[in-house]
Structure 1
Amino acid sequence: MCAALLVGALAAPAQAAGGAQDLRGAGWKLKATGAEARFRGLAAVSRSTAWVSGSKGTVLRTVDGGRSWSDVSPPAAVTDGLELRDIEAFDARRAVALSIGEGEDSRIFRTEDGGATWSETFRNGDARAFYDCLTFFDPRHGLAVSDPVDGRFRMLATEDGGRSWRVLPAEGMPAALPGEAGFAASGQCLVSAGPRDVWLATGGGAAGRVLHSSDRGLTWRVADSTVPGGDPAKGVFGLAFREGGARAAGLAVGGDYRTGEASPRAAAVSSDAGATWRAAATPPAAYRSGVTWLPYLRSVALAVGPTGTDVTLDAGRTWRPLDAGSFDTVACGRDGACWAAGEKGRVGRLEPGVG
Structure 2
Amino acid sequence: MNKYLKPFLVIILFASLVQKLSAQTVTLIPQTATASIRGMSVIDDHVAWISGSKGHVAVTTDGGLIWKWQQVKGYEKADFRDVQAFSATEAVIIASGTPALVLKTTDGGANWTKVFENTDAAYFLDAMDFADSNHGFIMGDPINNKFLLLETTNGGDTWELVSDAPDALPGEAAFAASGTCMRIQQGLILIATGGTASRYIYSPVSKLKWKYIKSPLPQSKSSQGAFGIAKHNNTLIVVGGDYEQPAKQDSVAAIFNGKKFALSTQMPGGFQSSVEHIKGKTFISTGTSGTNMSTDGGNTWKQIDGGSYNVCLKARKGNLVLLAGDKGRIGIFKF
Q: Quick one: distance in 2 between partners of 1:187 and 1:284?
A: 20
Q: Quick one: distance in 2 between partners of 1:200 and 1:141?
A: 17
- Do residues 191 (structure 1) and 183 (structure 2) align? yes
Which segment drifts farther, 68-77 or 252-261?
68-77
Deviation at 1:228, TM superposition (A): 1.4
User: Which SS does the other structure have where 2:54 is aligned?
Assistant: helix
- Do residues 200 (structure 1) and 195 (structure 2) align? no
Deviations along 1:273-312, whole A, 9 cap, x unmatched?
xx53211111213100011001xx2200100011211000
Gaps of 5+ in 2: 1-15
- Do residues 209 (structure 1) and 207 (structure 2) align? no
1:72–1:114 Cα contact (<8 Å) kept: no
Deviation at 1:41, TM superposition (A): 0.8
Q: Sequence identity, in percent?
A: 33
Deviations along 1:187-223, whole A, 9 cap, x unmatched?
11110113x3111111111x31110011357321110
- Do residues 56 (structure 1) and 54 (structure 2) align? yes
- Do residues 343 (structure 1) and 334 (structure 2) align? no
Deviation at 1:263, TM superposition (A): 4.0
Q: Which amino acid aligns with 2:328?
A: G
2:247–2:269 Cα contact (<8 Å) kept: no
- Do residues 160 (structure 1) and 159 (structure 2) align? no
Q: Quick one: distance in 2 between partners of 1:335 and 1:271?
A: 26
Gaps of 5+ in 1: 1-11, 15-21
Q: Quick one: distance in 1 between partners of 2:175 and 2:246?
A: 19
- Do residues 293 (structure 1) and 293 (structure 2) align? no
Q: Quick one: distance in 1 between partners of 2:280 and 2:297?
A: 7
Q: Give me the TM-score of the superposition, normalised by structure 1.
A: 0.85
Match of 1:223 among 198, 213, 217: 213
* Greater Rg over alpha carbons, structure: 2
1:225–1:276 Cα contact (<8 Å) kept: no
1:288–1:303 Cα contact (<8 Å) kept: yes
User: Which SS does the other structure have where 1:330 is aligned?
Assistant: strand
Structure 2 residue aligned with 1:306: 288
2:226–2:241 Cα contact (<8 Å) kept: yes
Q: Which aligned pairs between 1:267-286 and structure 2 lie closer than 5 A?
A: 267-272=253-258, 276-286=260-270
User: Which SS does the other structure have where 1:237 is aligned?
Assistant: strand
Q: Quick one: distance in 2 between partners of 1:167 and 1:306?
A: 33
Structure 2 residue aligned with 1:89: 85
Deviations along 1:218-275, whole A, 9 cap, x unmatched?
32111011111111100000011225xxxx4211000000145624110011222xx5
Deviations along 1:94-144, whole A, 9 cap, x unmatched?
111111014x1x111111121111111111243322111111111100001
2:103–2:116 Cα contact (<8 Å) kept: yes
User: Which SS does the other structure have where 1:344 is aligned?
Assistant: helix
User: Which SS does the other structure have where 1:160 is aligned?
Assistant: coil
Match of 1:240 among 227, 230, 234: 230
Q: Which amino acid aligns with 1:262?
A: K
- Do residues 315 (structure 1) and 301 (structure 2) align? no
Match of 2:166 among 173, 197, 206: 173
2:247–2:289 Cα contact (<8 Å) kept: no
Deviation at 1:47, TM superposition (A): 2.5
C-alpha spacing 1:131/1:25, structure 2 compared with 1 (3 Å): closer
Structure 2 residue aligned with 1:250: 236
C-alpha root-mean-square deviation of aligned residues, in Å?
2.0
2:101–2:116 Cα contact (<8 Å) kept: yes
Q: Quick one: distance in 1 between partners of 2:68 and 2:206?
A: 34
Q: Which amino acid aligns with 2:166?
A: M
Deviations along 1:64-116, whole A, 9 cap, x unmatched?
223322124421321xx0110111112212111111014x1x11111112111
Deviations along 1:173-199, whole A, 9 cap, x unmatched?
23x2221110000011110113x3111
- Do residues 331 (structure 1) and 313 (structure 2) align? yes
- Do residues 115 (structure 1) and 102 (structure 2) align? no
C-alpha spacing 1:286/1:70, structure 2 compared with 1 (3 Å): same
